[in-house]
C-alpha cells in the first residue's frame, strides 16, 4: 500500500500533473466564487477536454476543480452573502455575519483551514478506507436514505434563527416548492400548471441565487442612497499571520474533526453528501457548542463546521464510484465518464487491475489538497479586495453574475424568472425575520425524502415496519428521535429560565 | 459553455456569415455552425458521444457542430425543442432512446416518430439479461419456465417505463408472458439499481456490458443473454436473445435528430458527413477506449429501426402504465 503510494508519488510528481492540478484548483476557486456558477458545471463543461490527454493529467485537473470550487463557494458566501453553490449555503449563516462585523479575513481563513482538514480527512479515507466504507455505503438503500434524510431534516431546529415556529413555516414552504414538477415515481405532473418549464421542478441554483444573492442585493439597495461608500466595514482589515490563524482553528479542532467525519461518512453514501453534510455538521456543532446562542450571529464554529464537512465530501464521494461503479451525483458521474473515456471502467477490478493509475490518482487527490491550501492562501488578499469596490458597483456585478450563472445552467430564461421571484421571496422573508436556511434545507431534502420513502414502501410491499427491521435504518431513526427529544427538552428549559428572568426574546 | 461559445463563437460566426455572403450568395448548406442540443447535462454518455462526433465533424461538414444543452424532463425538453425548431438544418438534437422515445410515451406527450427526422445512430449499447450468480436461473429458458410455473418474480429496473423496463417487456411479449407475473422494483436510476443487486436485495436486471463486466469476472453476476443482433466481444459465450428464439433488440441507442420537414438534400448532406465520420480514425480510437461498437453507428439503416421501436414501445409501455 505505502510502497504503491510512494511509487505513485514519483509518477505524479511531474510538471504536467502538477500544472493540471494547480490550474484546476485556480479555475475551481474562481468558478466556485461566482454566484450561480458551480464547480459541477465547470467540470461538466471541461471534462470532454480531458478525454484527449493522459489519465493522470485530465482527471487530476477535474479533481482540483472540484475541490477548488467547493471552497471557492464559501468566498462569495462570506464576502457578499451569496453562496457560490448550494453546498456553501450553511457557511453563509455565520460567515456573512462575521464579515459584517469586520471579521471577513478571519472567516475566510477559518473556512480555508477547515476545508484543508476536511479535505485531508476525506482523502485519507479514500486512500486507506475505500473498500470498507464502500461496503457500508452499499447497504444504503431507499430505507436507509429515508432515515438519514429524516435525521438531516431535524437540523432545521438549529438553523431556524430566533423562532422555531417561523423556521418550521419556512421549511414547509421549502417542501411545497420541492413538490413542483414531475412525481418521482409515477411521473404525473404536480403543480406545474401545464408549463413545460416546471415539469423538471424548480432549479435549485435559481432558487439559491435568488433567495440569497438577489435578496441580499435588494437589502443593500435600501441603503445605497444614504451611503455610496464601499463596504467600508472591512477596509483596512489585514490578513492575520498563518500561525495565529492556525491557532484560532486549533481551538475549534474538535468541531473541525467532527465535521470532517460527518462529511466523510455522508459523502461516501452515493448522492447526498454535498447538500446534506454541511447542515448536519452545522447543527451538530451548534448542539455541542457552549455558546449556541452565538450561532447565526457570527460564530467561528458556524463557518468551520460546514466548510470542513463539504470539502471532506469531495474525496469521499469518489469511494462508491471507484469501488462499485455507482456514481451518486453529477460530479461523480462526470468523473466516472472521464475515467471510462480513458478505458478505466470503475468496478470491483478497477483498483487491482489499474493499480498504478489509481494510486497515481489517489496521490493527485492528495496533491490537490495541498494545492487548495496554497492557492486559497495566495488568492486571499485579492478576494478581500472585493470589499473595497463601491457597493453600488459591487452589487451590480453580483446581479450580473447571478444572471449569467443561473442562465448558464440550462440556457433557460424561465430559470431567470424563478431567480428573481425567489429574490423577492427572500427579501420578504428577511424583512419578516423568517430564516431562509430551513426553506433551502427542506427544499433540497424533501425530494430525496419522498422518493426514498415511496421506493422503500414499494420494495417492502407497503410495509412500514420494514423501516425498523433494517438495523441501520432503525439506529438512525432512534438517533433522530433522540435529537428531537433533547432539543425539545433544552428548548423548554431555556424558555422557563427566560420567563423567570423576564427576557424571553433575547436569546 | 454558453459563455465560452458566445465569446469565441460570435466573432467566428459573424466573420463566416460575412465571408459566406461575399463568396457565395446561393444556399450552400451548411454555411454556418450547426447547433446540436444535447438532451442531458454535459458530462454523461450522450454528451460523450456528441463530443466524439463534434471533434471530427468539421473535417467532413465544412462547418462545426456547436454543442448546446437543453436538458430536463428526462430528455424530452430537447426533443420538444427540436420538434418545434425551424427545419433549416442548423438545429439538431442528440439524445438516447430513453429521452427520444420512452420518456415521451411515459409522460403522455403528444409526440411520435413523425415529429422528428432521424439522421444517424451514433452508438448502440445492448442490454444484457443478468442475474446474481446465486440465483436459480441459469438460462433464459429456466427463468421463463419459473415465471410460467409460479408466482411473481421480482425484477430490478431503473424506473417504471424506462429503457430497461421496455427491454423486459419486449422479452416477456416474445415469451408470451404477462407483465402481471412480475414485481417491478423501480430504483430511480442505473446506479441505485446496481447497488440493490450487489447488496443482494434483488437478483434480476438488464444492464450494459461496461457495468456488469467486473461483477461477472468476480463471480457476483451471471450474464444470460444479450439483446442485440450479434454476440458481444466481451462476452463471446453469452448467446443473443435472437439465437434463443426471442426477437429482442433493446438497449441504449444514442442518435442525432433533426426537426420534422428537414429537406431531403440537407438530410443527405448530413448523412454523407456521418458516413465519413464513422470511418474517421480519431472517432474509432475514441470508440475503442469507451468500449463502444463502431458497427452500431448507423446512418440510413437507422430510420426503420427507430420507427419499429416507436411502434413497439408505444404499445408495450402504454399497457404497462395502464393507459
Three-state secondary structure of A309-368 = HHHHHHHHCHHHHHHHCCCCCHHHHHHHHHHHHCCCCCCCCHHHHCHHHHHHHHHHHHHH
CB of A54 less than 8 A from some CB of B: no
Task: Tally the C-alpha atoms within 13 A of residue B283's C-alpha that lie toward its C-beta.
Answer: 25
pLDDT confidence band for B16 (50 / 70 / 90)? very low
CB contact under 8 A, B73 and A408: no
Which has the minimum average pLDDT: A27-36, A47-56, A203-212, B236-245? A47-56
| DSSP β-bridge partners for residue B258 | B117
With an 8 Å Cβ cutoff, is A138 touching chain B? yes
State the pTM of this model: 0.84
Q: Which residues of A touch B291 (CB under 8 A)?
A: 340, 343, 345
CA distances to A28, A432, B103 from A40, rounded to whole Å, are 9, 33, 25
Residues 6+ apart with CB under 8 A from B108: B323
Q: Are A371 and A19 in contact (CB under 8 A)?
A: no
CB contact under 8 A, B195 and A326: yes
Chain A residues whose CB is inside 8 A of the B74 CB are: 182
- Among candidates B170, B228, B220, B162, which has minimal Cα distance to B194? B220
CB–CB of B290 and A341 under 8 A?
yes
**pLDDT tens, B157-166?**
998 888 999 9
Alpha helices in A432-465 (DSSP H): 437-459
CA B323 – CA B304 distance, rounded (Å): 26
CA A224 vs CA A216, A461, B194: distances in Å: 13, 60, 55
Contact flag B289-A343 (C-beta cutoff 8 Å): yes
A400-403 long-range contacts, CB within 8 A, separation 24+: A401/A34, A401/A35, A401/A36, A401/A37, A402/A35, A402/A36, A402/A82, A402/A209, A402/A210, A402/A213, A402/A214, A402/A217, A403/A36
CA atoms of B222 and A251, how far apart (whole Å): 54
- pLDDT at position B34 is 95
CB within 8 Å: B290 and A407:
no
Q: Tell me the percentage of chain B whose pLDDT exceeds 90.
A: 70
Contact between chains at A455 and B186 (C-beta distance less than 8 A): yes
Q: Is B179 exposed, middle or buried (0-12, 13-18, 19+ CB in 10 A)?
A: middle
> How far apart are the C-alpha atoms of A21 and A34, rounded to whole Å?
20
Determine the 3-state secondary structure of A390 from DSSP: strand
| Cα separation values, A197 from A417, A439, A449, B246, B274, Å | 11, 22, 23, 41, 33
CB contact under 8 A, A45 and B1: yes
A200–B73 CB contact, under 8 Å:
yes
Q: What is the pLDDT of residues B244-261, one digit of tens each?
A: 999 999 999 999 999 999
| Cα gap A478→A468, rounded to integer Å | 10
What is the mean predicted confidence (pLDDT) over A199-221?
90
Q: What cell does A363 get? A: 496521490
Element holding B253 (H helix, E strand): strand B251-258
Residues on chain B touching A341 (C-beta within 8 angstroms): 48, 286, 289-290
pLDDT at B8 over 80: no
Mean pLDDT over A200-226 rounds to 87
Looking at the partner chain, which of A47, A187, A341 has a beta carbon nearest the beta carbon of B107? A187
Q: Which grid cell is A219?
A: 437589502
pLDDT of residue B43: 74
Confidence of residue A227 (pLDDT cuts 50, 70, 90): low
* Chain A residue with Cα closest to B154: A459
Predicted confidence (pLDDT) per residue in A128-143, tens digit: 988 888 888 888 999 9
What residues have CB less than 8 Å from A403, skipping those under 6 apart? A36, A416, A419
Q: Do the Cβ atoms of A85 and A38 come closer than 8 Å?
A: yes
The answer to whether A455 contacts B41, with C-beta atoms less than 8 Å apart, is no
Of A44, A348, A458, the CB nearest to B186: A458
Asked if residue B297 lies in contact with residue B122, where contact means CB atoms within 8 angstroms, the answer is yes
Q: Which of B191, B196, B320 to mutate to test the interface with A (most CBs of A within 10 A)?
A: B191
How far, in Å, CA of B126 to CA of A470, rounded?
Answer: 35
Decide: A227 and A392 in contact? Cβ < 8 Å: no
Does the ipTM surpass 0.90?
no
Q: Specify the pLDDT at position A55.
A: 87
Distances (CA, A) of B49 to A294, B27, B53, B181, B272: 52, 29, 6, 37, 18
Question: Which residues have a Cβ under 8 Å from the Cβ of A330 and sit 6 or more positions away?
Answer: A40, A44, B41, B43
The pLDDT assigned to A384 comes to 86
pLDDT of residue A225: 65
Give me the residue from A182, A330, A348 closest to B41, CB to CB: A330
Pairs across A and B, CB distance < 8 A: 132
**Is the CB of residue A297 less than 8 Å from the CB of residue A107?**
no
pLDDT digits (tens, 9 = 90+) for A405-464: 888 877 789 999 999 999 999 999 999 999 999 999 999 999 889 999 999 998 888 899
Contact A325, A276 (CB under 8 A): no
Model confidence band, residue A249 (pLDDT cutoffs 50, 70, 90): low
Whole-angstrom distance, CA of residue B319 vs CA of residue B169? 10
A282-310, pLDDT tens digit by residue?
Answer: 999 998 998 888 999 999 999 999 999 99
**Nine-digit cell at B44?**
454523461
Q: Which residues contact A244 (CB under 8 A, 6 or more apart)?
A: none
Interchain CB contact of A329 with B (< 8 Å)? no
Q: Tell me, yes or no, if B289 comes closer than 8 A to chain A by beta carbon.
A: yes
Contact state of A199 with B72 under an 8 Å Cβ cutoff: yes
- Residues in A closer than 8 angstroms to B73, CB to CB, are 182, 196, 199-200
Q: Residue A258 half-sphere exposure, CB side, CA atoms within 13 Å?
A: 19
pLDDT tens, B20-65?
A: 444 443 468 999 999 999 998 877 789 889 989 999 999 999 899 9
Q: Measured between alpha carbons, how far apart are the two ends of chain A, in Å?
A: 52
Please report, for residues A184, B45, B54, B122, B317, the alpha-carbon distance to residue A48 in angstroms, rounded to integers and kept in the order given: 30, 11, 11, 17, 35
Other CB atoms within a 10 A radius of the CB of residue A350 amount to 21
In this predicted structure, what is the pLDDT of residue A226?
A: 58
Q: Does A184 touch chain B (CB under 8 A)?
A: yes
| Residue contact A345–B291, C-beta within 8 A | yes
Is A325–B106 a contact, with Cβ atoms under 8 angstroms apart? no
Minimal CA separation from A143 to chain B, in Å:
12
User: What phi and psi values does residue B252 have, to the nearest 5 degrees?
Assistant: -110, 115
Amino acid at each position: 500500500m505505502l510502497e504503491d503510494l510512494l511509487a505513485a508519488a514519483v509518477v505524479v510528481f511531474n510538471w504536467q500533473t502538477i500544472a493540471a492540478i494547480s490550474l484546476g484548483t485556480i479555475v475551481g476557486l474562481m468558478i466556485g466564487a461566482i454566484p450561480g456558477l458551480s464547480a459541477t458545471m465547470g467540470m461538466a463543461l471541461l471534462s470532454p477536454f480531458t478525454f484527449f490527454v493522459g489519465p493522470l493529467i485530465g482527471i487530476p485537473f477535474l479533481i482540483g476543480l472540484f475541490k477548488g470550487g467547493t471552497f471557492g463557494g464559501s468566498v462569495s458566501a462570506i464576502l457578499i452573502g451569496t453562496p457560490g453553490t448550494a453546498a456553501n449555503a450553511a457557511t453563509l449563516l455565520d460567515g456573512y455575519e462575521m464579515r459584517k462585523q469586520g471579521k471577513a479575513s478571519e472567516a475566510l481563513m477559518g473556512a480555508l483551514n477547515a476545508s484543508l482538514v476536511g479535505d485531508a480527512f476525506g482523502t485519507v479515507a479514500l486512500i486507506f478506507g475505500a473498500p470498507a466504507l464502500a461496503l457500508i455505503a452499499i447497504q444504503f438503500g431507499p430505507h436507509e436514505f429515508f432515515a438519514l434524510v429524516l435525521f438531516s431534516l431535524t437540523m432545521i431546529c438549529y438553523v431556524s434563527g430566533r423562532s422555531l415556529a417561523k423556521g418550521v413555516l419556512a421549511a414547509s414552504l421549502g417542501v411545497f416548492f420541492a413538490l413542483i414538477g414531475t412525481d418521482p415515481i409515477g411521473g404525473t405532473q404536480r403543480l406545474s400548471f401545464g408549463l413545460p418549464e416546471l415539469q423538471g421542478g424548480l432549479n435549485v441554483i435559481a432558487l439559491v441565487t435568488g433567495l440569497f444573492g438577489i435578496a441580499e442585493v435588494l437589502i443593500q439597495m435600501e441603503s445605497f442612497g444614504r451611503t455610496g461608500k464601499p463596504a467600508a466595514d472591512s477596509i483596512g482589515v489585514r490578513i492575520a499571520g498563518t500561525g495565529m490563524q492556525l491557532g484560532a482553528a486549533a481551538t475549534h479542532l474538535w468541531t473541525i474533526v467532527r465535521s470532517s467525519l460527518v462529511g466523510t461518512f455522508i459523502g461516501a453514501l452515493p448522492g447526498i453528501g454535498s447538500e446534506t453534510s454541511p447542515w448536519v455538521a452545522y447543527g451538530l456543532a451548534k448542539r455541542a457548542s457552549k455558546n449556541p446562542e452565538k450561532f447565526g450571529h457570527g460564530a467561528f464554529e458556524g463557518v468551520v463546521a460546514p466548510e470542513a464537512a463539504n470539502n471532506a465530501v469531495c474525496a469521499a464521494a469518489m469511494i462508491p464510484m471507484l469501488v462499485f461503479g455507482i456514481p451518486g451525483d453529477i460530479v461523480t458521474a462526470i468523473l466516472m465518464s472521464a475515467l471510462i473515456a480513458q478505458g478505466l471502467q470503475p468496478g470491483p477490478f478497477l483498483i487491482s487491475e489499474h493499480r498504478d493509475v489509481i494510486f497515481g490518482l489517489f496521490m493527485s487527490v492528495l496533491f490537490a489538497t495541498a494545492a487548495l491550501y496554497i492557492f486559497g492562501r495566495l488568492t486571499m488578499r485579492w478576494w478581500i479586495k472585493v470589499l473595497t469596490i463601491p457597493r453600488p458597483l459591487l452589487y451590480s456585478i453580483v446581479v450580473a453574475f447571478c444572471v449569467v450563472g443561473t442562465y448558464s445552467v440550462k440556457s433557460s430564461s424561465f430559470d431567470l424568472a424563478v431567480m428573481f421571484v425567489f429574490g423577492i421571496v427572500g427579501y420578504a422573508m428577511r424583512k419578516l425575520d423568517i430564516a431562509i436556511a430551513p426553506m433551502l434545507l427542506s427544499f433540497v431534502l424533501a425530494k430525496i425524502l419522498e422518493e426514498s420513502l415511496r421506493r422503500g414502501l414499494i420494495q417492502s410491499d407497503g410495509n412500514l415496519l420494514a423501516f425498523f427491521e433494517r438495523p441501520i435504518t432503525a439506529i438512525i431513526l432512534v438517533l433522530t428521535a433522540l435529537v428531537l427529544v433533547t432539543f425539545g427538552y433544552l428548548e423548554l428549559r431555556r424558555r422557563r429560565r427566560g420567563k423567570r428572568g423576564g427576557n424571553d426574546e433575547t436569546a | 459553455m454558453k459563455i465560452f461559445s458566445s465569446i469565441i463563437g460570435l466573432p467566428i460566426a459573424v466573420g463566416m456569415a460575412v465571408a459566406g455572403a461575399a463568396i457565395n450568395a446561393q444556399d450552400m448548406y451548411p454555411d454556418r455552425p450547426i447547433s446540436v442540443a444535447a438532451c442531458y447535462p454535459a458530462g454523461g454518455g450522450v454528451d460523450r458521444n456528441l463530443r466524439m462526433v463534434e471533434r471530427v465533424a468539421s473535417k467532413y461538414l465544412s462547418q462545426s457542430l456547436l454543442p448546446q444543452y437543453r436538458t430536463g424532463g428526462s430528455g424530452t425538453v430537447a426533443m420538444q425543442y427540436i420538434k418545434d425548431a425551424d427545419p433549416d438544418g442548423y438545429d439538431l438534437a442528440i439524445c438516447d432512446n430513453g429521452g427520444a422515445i420512452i420518456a415521451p410515451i411515459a409522460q403522455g406527450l403528444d409526440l411520435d416518430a413523425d415529429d422528428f427526422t432521424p439522421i444517424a445512430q451514433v452508438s448502440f449499447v445492448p442490454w444484457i439479461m443478468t442475474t446474481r450468480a446465486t440465483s436459480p436461473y441459469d438460462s433464459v429458458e429456466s427463468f421463463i419456465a419459473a415465471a410460467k410455473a409460479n408466482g411473481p418474480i421480482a425484477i430490478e429496473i431503473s424506473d417504471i417505463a424506462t429503457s430497461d423496463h421496455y427491454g423486459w417487456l419486449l422479452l416477456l411479449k416474445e415469451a408470451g408472458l404477462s407483465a402481471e407475473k412480475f414485481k417491478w422494483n423501480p430504483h430511480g436510476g442505473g446506479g441505485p439499481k446496481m447497488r440493490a443487486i450487489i447488496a443482494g436485495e434483488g437478483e434480476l436486471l438488464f444492464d450494459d456490458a461496461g457495468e456488469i463486466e467486473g461483477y461477472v469476472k468476480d463471480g457476483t453476476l451471471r450474464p444470460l443473454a444479450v439483446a442485440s443482433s450479434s454476440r458481444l466481444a466481451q462476452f463471446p459465450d453469452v448467446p443473443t436473445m435472437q439465437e434463443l428464439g426471442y426477437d429482442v433488440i433493446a438497449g441504449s441507442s444514442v442518435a442525432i435528430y433533426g426537426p420534422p420537414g428537414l429537406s431531403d438534400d440537407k438530410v443527405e448532406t448530413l448523412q454523407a458527413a456521418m458516413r465519413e465520420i464513422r470511418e474517421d480514425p480519431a472517432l474509432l480510437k475514441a470508440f475503442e477506449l469507451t468500449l463502444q461498437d463502431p458497427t452500431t453507428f448507423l446512418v440510413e439503416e437507422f430510420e426503420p429501426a427507430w420507427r419499429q421501436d416507436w411502434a413497439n414501445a408505444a404499445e408495450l409501455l402504454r399497457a404497462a402504465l395502464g393507459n
